Structure 1
Amino acid sequence: MKYSKLDAKDYAREHMRGIWAAALNPFHQDGTFNEEGLRSNIRHWVDDLGIQGLFIAGKQGEFFSMSLEERKRNFEIAVEECDGKAGTIMSASDQNFDTVVELARHAQDCGADYVVVHAPVLHFISDQDDTVFNYYKELCDRVDIGIAMWSHPDSGYLMSPELCARVAELPNIVAIKYSVPREMYVRLSRMVGDKIQVSTASEEEWLDNIEELDWKLYLCSAPPYLLQTKADRRMQAYTELAFAGRFEEARKLRDSLDPVREAIRSTRPGGKPQAHSKYWQDLLGQVGGPVRAPLLQLTDEEKVRTREAFDGCGLKL
């Protein structure tokens, strides 16, 4: 590891910055893992798009349909391909706590920068705060790597800002991906200051959060590589303008991406987000491919609509 457990917060404050993207995971037509496809995508994301960090084997990456060994192999590939040019944060989320610990230790051993672990689904519990705190405390006690919390509605509850701030006191908690209404992450940001990095996956709110909350980290979803090409890096450009305090210029550039956002939003079937994003990747020349069962593939008609929207959205290829 590049830091000690007690230095994790300081290290993340300095290095966990900029645009981090959540990787979709490519599969072959027969459903097997496309290792070379993942390597190719990572090289494009880092070398051509300038993405500063990658979130590996999470919900976007269909971790729920992958074996434990495939998830570990994802970690290893990301570390090899990023090779110090970009940061890595590995999803160790799982309903089995021993699996969470095993994945976090593997990430630590193979050279990852951080892990992210979402709040657990809790059965029969209606007053969850102490249990959730203990969940993260147990994990912090067992590994040294920096850990990002992740609270989202899929857990069946949202961690309150007060609970998040309590967990943030643990020594190797370095960040949170906080998929909650804006008023909640604003409150948490003001409560914790720069103790941990607070972020959310909404690209459309990213610029406002830089300006109003002094955020330094976008953590993270697929827009950094769905809205951009090697010839058209407007998200990166408006981020750099915002970091430089040139907010009016940044807003104009951000808003120029509205046709691309609308093309994606208007053609994405509600039940097929990963399949749609992977097809958009294919259109961009990245390696998308099929989703794994039980997820649904796009129909031919859905592909035609998406292709028509893609052709008219104004992205430069």
Structure 2
Amino acid sequence: MKNEDLKGLYSALLISFNEDGSINEQGIREIIRHNIDKMKVDGLYVGGSTGENFLLSTDEKKRIFEIAKDEAKSDIKLIAQVGSMNVYEAIELAKFTTDLGYDAISAVTPFYYKFSFEEIKEYYEMIINSVDNRLIVYSIPFLTGVNINVEQFGELFKNEKIIGVKFTAADFYLLERVRKAYPEHLIYAGFDEMMLSASVLNVDGAIGSTFNLNGIRARKIVELVKEGKIDEARELQHITNDFITDVLNNGLYSTLKTCLELQGVHAGYSRRPMKSASEAQKQRAKEIYEKYLK
């Protein structure tokens, strides 16, 4: 299987919870169908930050992976984010999702402790060498504090099963250097608000939380860049960033979920200690929905 099959636009899947914190299976299925049928995404990135993954037990993560695969089937590509502070949990989830038929796995860099690069490299080797699958490094320095340089990416890519990176950073110099140094490896843009800039640097796709609602506009930005229509793409990025600014100012998860609810999708609550939307936030979310999404 060639890695080109994994190129494209992926929603970082939002997860619906009930008020008591339990998984809302029907809500998750509705979010998945919305992404496939309405947002027309190429795939889903399941178990990432947007999925409130690091607030969940291993069994809950497994159940969400099962639901996503059962609902999406083979309609789109599925990438499972299995990374964990506990490498043995990551290996368990890598095996679980590979057996389910996920097209690739991904893993966030280990964080909190100040791991050396050799320790980080061993973490990735332990995960990917445990399964017959492909792995995408999840680099998100502003949350993990872990920075990987061009040469270190090269060290990771020596393992032919480590096929690319979800690049969630604003360092476009580094992005350009990685793109030039490793043209055969996949690079996914991880910041929705920087789609235009990343597309100009010829990334292979993007993975974003706002694609759950703004996927059509995001795809248009990519298409316009490919057509050389930079002015039109810039205007769409302006609109996208106005939307993102308003969402962030009102509360990311609660606003996205409220906007989905306004479209008839049971996106539910957030997992504690995250707060779900207050009445004031719901009202503001309705204004955001009507301005950008209706």
The two structures have a TM-score, normalised by structure 2, of: 0.90
Query: Given the alignment of the two structures, is residue 302 of structure 1 paired with residue 281 of structure 2, yes or no?
Result: yes
The alpha-carbon distance between structure 1 residues 245 and 15, as it changes in their structure 2 partners (threshold 3 A), is farther
| CA shift for structure 1 position 124 | 5.5
Query: Given the alignment of the two structures, is residue 168 of structure 1 paired with residue 161 of structure 2, yes or no?
Result: no
The alpha-carbon distance between structure 1 residues 209 and 155, as it changes in their structure 2 partners (threshold 3 A), is closer
Aligned pairs for 1:247-258 within 5 A? 247-258=230-241
Aligned pairs for 1:1-317 within 5 A? 3=1, 11-12=2-3, 14-121=4-111, 123=113, 125=115, 128-153=116-141, 154-182=143-171, 183-194=173-184, 196-211=185-200, 213-218=201-206, 220-228=207-215, 233-268=216-251, 273-311=252-290, 313-316=291-294
Mapped partners of 2:112, 2:234: distance in 1: 41
Per the alignment, in what secondary structure is the counterpart of residue 106 of structure 2? strand
Mapped partners of 1:159, 1:209: distance in 2: 18
Deviates further, 273-282 or 70-79: 273-282
| CA shift for structure 1 position 267 | 2.2
| CA shift for structure 1 position 181 | 2.9
| CA shift for structure 1 position 184 | 2.1
Per the alignment, in what secondary structure is the counterpart of residue 227 of structure 1? helix
| CA shift for structure 1 position 64 | 2.1
| CA shift for structure 1 position 262 | 3.6
The alpha-carbon distance between structure 1 residues 301 and 47, as it changes in their structure 2 partners (threshold 3 A), is closer
Runs (5+) with no aligned partner, structure 1 = 4-10
Per the alignment, in what secondary structure is the counterpart of residue 60 of structure 1? helix
The alpha-carbon distance between structure 1 residues 293 and 256, as it changes in their structure 2 partners (threshold 3 A), is closer
The percent of aligned pairs where both chains have the same amino acid is: 25
Say what the alpha-carbon RMSD is for the aligned residues. 2.1
| CA shift for structure 1 position 27 | 1.0
- Is the CA contact (8 Å cut-off) linking 1:267 and 1:309 kept in structure 2? no
Runs (5+) with no aligned partner, structure 2 = none
| CA shift for structure 1 position 241 | 3.0
The alpha-carbon distance between structure 1 residues 190 and 246, as it changes in their structure 2 partners (threshold 3 A), is same
Deviates further, 107-116 or 69-78: 69-78
Mapped partners of 1:62, 1:160: distance in 2: 27
Mapped partners of 2:94, 2:248: distance in 1: 34
The alpha-carbon distance between structure 1 residues 237 and 294, as it changes in their structure 2 partners (threshold 3 A), is same
| CA shift for structure 1 position 145 | 0.9
- Is the CA contact (8 Å cut-off) linking 2:210 and 2:256 kept in structure 1? no
Mapped partners of 1:295, 1:200: distance in 2: 26
The alpha-carbon distance between structure 1 residues 315 and 101, as it changes in their structure 2 partners (threshold 3 A), is same
The two structures have a TM-score, normalised by structure 1, of: 0.84
| CA shift for structure 1 position 200 | 2.7
One-letter amino acid matched to 2:272 = A
Per the alignment, in what secondary structure is the counterpart of residue 88 of structure 1? strand
Mapped partners of 1:293, 1:315: distance in 2: 28
| CA shift for structure 1 position 279 | 2.2
How many equivalent pairs are there?
292
Measured against aligned partners, the alpha-carbon deviations of 1:63-118 in whole angstroms (never above 9, x if no partner) come to 22222222112222222222222100011111111111010011110110011101
Per the alignment, in what secondary structure is the counterpart of residue 263 of structure 1? helix
